[in-house]
Structure formats: C-alpha cells, structure tokens
Structure 1
C-alpha cells in the first residue's frame, strides 16, 4: 500500500456540493488546507461549515465566484491564497453545468453557457494557479470532464463538446506541465448522484433516458475517492467506474459497438413516440 501524504493547500471549484464537496471533505480529513469556490453564497457557507467539523476551522476558506467570470475567479484565487497563507498546491476543477436537449430545440445561449461554464470555467482557474506551480516546480491540477467527454451521446450536443474540450485541454497541459514537475489529471465520471444530476434529469429527452438505460448513478463519494487516489498516484486518466475506465482505454473498439446499441434504443423510442 502506498503511503498517503498531506496535500498542502487544495483549491476546489464547484466545492459547495456534489463531487467538489465530497472531494474537499476527503482532503480535509487528510489534513489539507481546503479552499472552496462556488457561485451560491449560502450553500458555499454551509459547505465550509461542514468541512470545519472535520478539519481545523482555520484551514477552511471559501469565496463566492462564477467560474465563467475570469476576473472574479482570478481574484478569488488570490484572496484564498492570501487567507490560507500559502499558494495553491492542488487544484480540483469540478464546477460544471449540464443542460441536455435535442440539437434543433436548444437555444444558442445554452451552447454558449456550456462552453463558458464547463470549458472556460476550467481554463480560467487553471490560468490563475498554473504559473505559480510552474515557478515552484510542483503541484497537481485535476479537471472533471465526463463520460460524455469520451463518447457522443444523444441529447448532449451542447454539454458533450464542452467536456470534450476539457479533455483536450488537459491532454495538452499534461504534455506541457509534466516536464515542469506538475501532475495533470482528468476525471471521467458517469452519472453521479448529485443535485446537478437531479436538475439535468428535468431536461433529458426520452431518447437520452433510453440510452442511459437502467444504469444507477454512482455516489459522489466514489468519484471523490478516485480523484484522491489519482492525485496520490499521479494518474492522468481518472475513471471512477469500470465502464468509463474501459471506454477511456478501449474507445476505438467499444465506440462502434456502443453506437449501434444506442441507435437501437433511440429507434425504439421513436417508434413509440419521441416524447414518450
């Protein structure tokens, strides 16, 4: 068994709920200083209070910011580093937004919002912390993509490309930052039992539900454990379940088979009516 280590100052976007909060909780239990960034002030304050029960209150800090706003995120990072008394050692970018829907029915604003939050929201915080890590010659940056960043799925024409972009960004950064001593990782969760999934389910077309089948969402804790293990072992691909692990490694073989099965399910829905 590998020895666990203290991870210093960990910064988590989307840290007020779901995967972000579950990961922050594990790292706080490990003795890390934890800083949270999220939009909703009330939920953010509640998350910080919860973490203070498993860590020293002085080691938990939070700032409200919209990750799509570069200036707000950059300011939040600087303020949190000053409050914690040390720079960011580990960044976990988990803030994200999913809005499924049929391509011809989605507004341009939805496509723009997915890119602004999911891609640029990841890029902005990376741009804020990576220069310092390069200067120090150490650090870890992990971004949450999605199973929809591995395979095109019916109903995710706005969300999927944004998560594919996150994957591409992290693959490029891995090549650039590894020689600088910085660990780069990207996470591919399937459906996860979070408030975000509950909101997402409100908008899923019948075809998207059929493609998902009867697969049960995994708990956020399972994703958090995979993230922490990935940081400890400096893994690039971080897959919290068998399905995404297989798809990330054998996608060229599995994708044609999955597409045929998904097409069959979509046809079945269409026969019974697209709004069934």
Structure 2
C-alpha cells in the first residue's frame, strides 16, 4: 500500500480520532495535585533533555531539586539553569552513574541535604539505534543497564525510604515515582530491538510496582514520550537507520518542555500513563491491557476506543511495512549496481 492510499484510508475517521484526543486529553485532563511547594524532587538524567525540563518545571512549582547525572560540568550548568527558573528553589547536584554501586548512599546523602524525597523522576536513559545484526552485546547490555537496571536500583533505594515514612491511614499522597519509558516501549520498531525491550521492561516494572506500593500511599506514573528534541535524540540520529527515522517521525517531534509539563501534571494527578500527541494517546489506549486503572477518563477511552484504534493502527502498520520494504529494495538495487 502506497503512502497516498494509506493516508486516504486513515483520513476516513479523522473527526473521531481528533475529537477523542481532544475530549480525553484536553477537556478531561487532570489538574495538578498535590502541591510541590517546599518538597524534594530527585531527577536522574537531570543534566539535559527531558530530565532538565522536568527539573525546571518542578522548581517553578516551588520544589527543591536534586539533579543526578554522570557529567559534573553539565550538572553545574543545569543547576544554574534550574536555579534561574525559580531562584527560591534549592538545587543540589550529585554526579553519579545510576549503574554503579552506592545508590543507597547517594539517596541518603541527598535526603540529608534537602529532606525526604517526595517525588522521584527517572529520566536517565539512552538508545543506540541499529539493525539487529549490527548491535554488539556490549551495546545491548549497556542499554539494558542504564534504561532498566539503573532505574530499578534508584527507584528501589527511594521507595524503601518512602515506605518507611508512609502513613497508611493518610489520605494525602506519601510519594510519587515516575519511570520514563518511550513510545518505543509500546511499539517495537525497526532498529530498536534492544532499546524497545529495555523500555518495555520499564512498563511492566511500573505496573507491578504500582500494585505493591499503592497501600503505602505511593503512586507510580510511566512516561511514554515520542521523539523529543534533546541532545540524546540528536546523538542517536547519527547512527539511526533510515527505516527507524521514517517510522518514528510519524508521531512528530516534541520539545522537552512540552513532554515535561505533561509528565509533571499527570504524575501529580496520580495518572498511570503520561504522554503527548495523538499517536501517544492512541498507543496508551491500545496498550493499556491489564494496566492499573487510576483515572476514569483514561479507562473510559480504553473500553470504548480500543477496537476503533486497533483498526486505525493497522494502516499505520501497513505504512511502516511499506517503508521497510521500500528501503530494503533500495539497498538491494544499490548492491546490484556496485
């Protein structure tokens, strides 16, 4: 199926897609609660990209922030940026590799300086897009280490301390945990075999963690952003296969600030999924499965729109297959000319 035919068929129901997105993600968007004023937020991967934008957003709302990342120089620059956003906020930096030992000590040190962590936002992560056969096991293990194991380790250290402080009969939220996955964790695409596996693992981790910690007054939110204009995105574009670029860009490119605002808003409201864009709305609706029910309008959309979105998604998948086959034919023709 060529692209013209694909868009013709997909456009048969544009009103439904647009109105459902508008209704469920705009008109029924949750408000921000609880208040972050004076509370401690830790952000891993906080020196750039989505992590830095999240730090700026929570600082604007009055939170004190701990920025965690490996590069000391970038952390100092990020600290100045966040401080400029809200000059009354205290901004602590901790140069630390989330894959290394000493996570418990790093978390304890940050809490000694800024008080108990109320909100943890895991943004540390990266991708190395490549065809499956071109990936080295070293690259695969590094992606799994940073994207999954690093997130798991920091979250475990923070949640242990949150649960020790929690008050079971309190109606107020005792803590918030955010895991940053990706739309690539919900839809495995060409060039993202290892990355998609690591990010998909975070979604199931989030589902299980939610079930464990809800009785302690803690909430879990998983962020599934599309392509986001960050330094990491620019870096991955250097080695990204053409098929990967063409497929992933169908969801559009969003700014880190837009993604961060949505993430903070939805996490404060206790919403399990947070994303941006129409495609993100479709994916989280389609992939909800047996995921937690934390927001009525999300549940309503999942019940009544899944069938329709599954039908529409078939045309996206046909287009993706068309892209892959077209690029394969080009490579074969180039080889014949050599």
Q: Normalised by the size of structure 1, how large is the TM-score?
A: 0.93
Aligned mates of 1:135, 1:56 — CA distance in 2: 31
Q: Verify the 8 A CA contact 1:151 1:255 in the aligned structure 2.
A: no
Tell me the residue number matched to 1:262. 320
Tell me the residue number matched to 2:117. 88
Question: For residues 53-202 of structure 1, what are the structure 2 equivalents within 5 Å?
Answer: 53-56=84-87, 59-69=90-100, 71-84=101-114, 86-137=115-166, 138-202=174-238
Deviation string 1:219-273 (CA, Å, 9 cap, x unpaired) is 0001101111112211001112221121111247265443322111100111111
Residue 45 of structure 1 deviates from its aligned partner by 0.8
Aligned mates of 1:3, 1:92 — CA distance in 2: 16
Tell me the residue number matched to 1:26. 57
Aligned mates of 2:130, 2:196 — CA distance in 1: 11
Among candidates 1, 9, 13, match of residue 40 of structure 2: 9
Aligned mates of 1:275, 1:177 — CA distance in 2: 55
Figure out how many residues of one structure are paired with residues of the other and give that number.
274
Q: Verify the 8 A CA contact 2:229 2:255 in the aligned structure 1.
A: yes
Residue 92 of structure 1 deviates from its aligned partner by 0.1
Point out where structure 1 has 5 or more consecutive residues left out of the alignment: none
Tell me the residue number matched to 1:229. 265
Q: Are 1:271 and 2:324 an aligned pair?
A: no
Q: Are 1:52 and 2:83 an aligned pair?
A: yes
Q: Which has the larger radius of gyration?
A: 2
Residue 200 of structure 1 deviates from its aligned partner by 0.6
Q: Verify the 8 A CA contact 1:188 1:239 in the aligned structure 2.
A: yes
Q: Are 1:212 and 2:241 an aligned pair?
A: no
Instruction: Please provide the CA RMSD for this pair.
Output: 1.9
Tell me the residue number matched to 2:5. none
Aligned mates of 1:175, 1:23 — CA distance in 2: 25
Aligned mates of 1:247, 1:111 — CA distance in 2: 25
**What SS does the corresponding residue of 1:10 show, helix, strand or coil?**
strand
Aligned mates of 1:73, 1:57 — CA distance in 2: 28
**What SS does the corresponding residue of 1:45 show, helix, strand or coil?**
helix
Identify if the C-alpha distance between structure 1 residues 58 and 206 changes in structure 2 by more than 3 Å, giving closer, same or farther: closer
Point out where structure 2 has 5 or more consecutive residues left out of the alignment: 1-29, 167-173, 288-305
Deviation string 1:132-182 (CA, Å, 9 cap, x unpaired) is 111222100001000000011000011110000111101110111112110
Residue 72 of structure 1 deviates from its aligned partner by 3.5
Aligned mates of 1:73, 1:37 — CA distance in 2: 11
**What SS does the corresponding residue of 1:266 show, helix, strand or coil?**
helix
